[in-house]
Structure 1
């Protein structure tokens, strides 16, 4: 088991990365009661900044958004399981995430970022506390990648395949119209963040979205239905995200998981309310069997609760 990290020096007050707003504090129950073992498959724990250093390469600076804060939200929404995803502000230092997983026990899973120096023993220790995937962020970073790093992905695959982990990609799928062909050499499961993270203003029928859908339908990939405010040119009611979510649900319901994207970092515009986001999701995917799959069954399969 990874040991709890030692306290670390406070982050510099003079950091130039822009400050993010925090999530809304008022907690409201959603209109729909979620299925048993409902899972939030995408959230970040941040801070305390007095203990954990942020990466100097970060593109934003968040307020403290602690595990205790999230657990209050989780209870209000009717969720019982969650997946912590390594935020870019910590680079490959997964200390916050691993410490939170130890507190969560079997109710938590994690997706980490690797720097390539981890030993096999360290990876096994991560697996033991609930890590089930590795995140590769190609867009929301200081130096975005213009190409898919296939060689790096294949190297990661070698490190994680024996553990049964997946690769989570944060990419704008519209940048890769032949995405399914480019990723054909990967054998581990692939997870796409934010429904493929379509660039703002791009038509949801873009070939890159079609390529992602083909990967989902083949059983090789999954998509996270998260961050509707990050997709499309408009705010609520998130018409572009709704169109994509419904299309995915109609064609590959068993390959989708839902996540809150709490605490909604780097939101340009009004901070969304988590109950409103969940209500919108249940309107886009209204059938009870769909909700059973989206919120519970699929996450159990992907994150090894099943």
Structure 2
């Protein structure tokens, strides 16, 4: 079993949102991703919601519907009706993504609409997928902790290339992981200007605080905005380097399968 918990599915034909931070020069259609999965022995995949697309969720939901190998998160507003969310669950949606990186101002998760959304997320057995800069992470993690929802933090929790998790944001992440309610992805390692040894050190730190049942792996395919070369085989090789123990790697995928597909 091998579960990729972080991919983005889209084609160049899909319109971009007016707030898109980049115009991708790559694409990954669902059919192409399933071919990648088969070629590389990936049994299951989790589609992460994209803020770049104007349709936000339509392509993702179509890819998930009736596909037992895929699950996904969606980008929804705080006023979304509970019945709409429940219908998305039937399509294979397992969470909402707060893609707040580069966002000018962060919302208050304690306001009525956000509090209601978080209650609905918890009641549906979903989770919040969080992507936000390390400097802005502490208050967000604190509000999510008080809400009682399950949380999965993207991209190693955005460690500092120089100081790792010895920053206010990094320390807040490790404290959150210690509570047992938070999870983190070993994803998008190619984005960090660090050595392979330093990236492996980040993984060791996260595993020490969360254990293999709450650390997942994700490729971040198709590597939108990559500053250096990245491909699927290379990211699988990175997983082997940062988690060299095959038993531990199996435990990570087994936990990911239970979390995303076993509910």
Contact 1:227 1:261 (C-alpha < 8 Å) held by counterparts: yes
Equivalent-residue separation in structure 2 for 1:266 and 1:64 (angstroms):
12
Please list the CA deviations of residues 9-68 of structure 1 after superposition, one character each: whole Å capped at 9, or x if unmatched: xxxxxxxxxxxxxxxxxxxxxxxxxxx2x111000011251xx32211111112332111
Contact 1:172 1:198 (C-alpha < 8 Å) held by counterparts: no
Give ranges in structure 1 of 5+ residues lacking alignment: 1-35
SS of alignment partner, residue 225 of structure 1: strand
Higher helix share: 2
> How far is the alpha carbon of 1:114 from its aligned partner?
0.2
Please list the CA deviations of residues 117-152 of structure 1 after superposition, one character each: whole Å capped at 9, or x if unmatched: 533332112101110100001114xx433x563236
RMSD: 2.2
Larger radius of gyration: 1
Contact 2:164 2:202 (C-alpha < 8 Å) held by counterparts: no
Corresponding position of 1:300: 257
> In the alignment, is residue 71 of structure 1 matched against residue 64 of structure 2?
no
Give ranges in structure 2 of 5+ residues lacking alignment: none
* 2:6 aligned to which of 37, 42, 54: 42
Equivalent-residue separation in structure 2 for 1:283 and 1:169 (angstroms):
25
The list of structure 1 runs, each at least 4 consecutive aligned residues, that deviate by more than 6 angstroms after superposition, is: none
Please list the CA deviations of residues 238-280 of structure 1 after superposition, one character each: whole Å capped at 9, or x if unmatched: 4443221111123322211101100010111x32122122112
> In the alignment, is residue 138 of structure 1 matched against residue 100 of structure 2?
yes
SS of alignment partner, residue 94 of structure 2: strand
> How far is the alpha carbon of 1:91 from its aligned partner?
5.3
Corresponding position of 2:154: 193
Equivalent-residue separation in structure 1 for 2:138 and 2:201 (angstroms):
19
> In the alignment, is residue 95 of structure 1 matched against residue 58 of structure 2?
yes
Equivalent-residue separation in structure 1 for 2:91 and 2:143 (angstroms):
32
> How far is the alpha carbon of 1:202 from its aligned partner?
4.4
Corresponding position of 1:288: 246
Q: 1:124 to 1:179 in 2, by over 3 A?
A: closer
Return 275-284 or 168-177, whichever deviates more.
168-177
Normalising by the residue count of structure 1, what TM-score does the alignment of the two structures yield?
Answer: 0.77
1:1-306 → structure 2 map (5 Å cutoff): 36=1, 38-49=2-13, 52-62=14-24, 63-90=26-53, 93-102=56-65, 105-140=67-102, 143-145=103-105, 147=106, 149-151=108-110, 153-177=114-138, 181-231=142-192, 233-234=193-194, 237-253=195-211, 254-268=213-227, 270-294=228-252, 296-305=253-262
> For this pair of structures, how many residues does the alignment match?
259
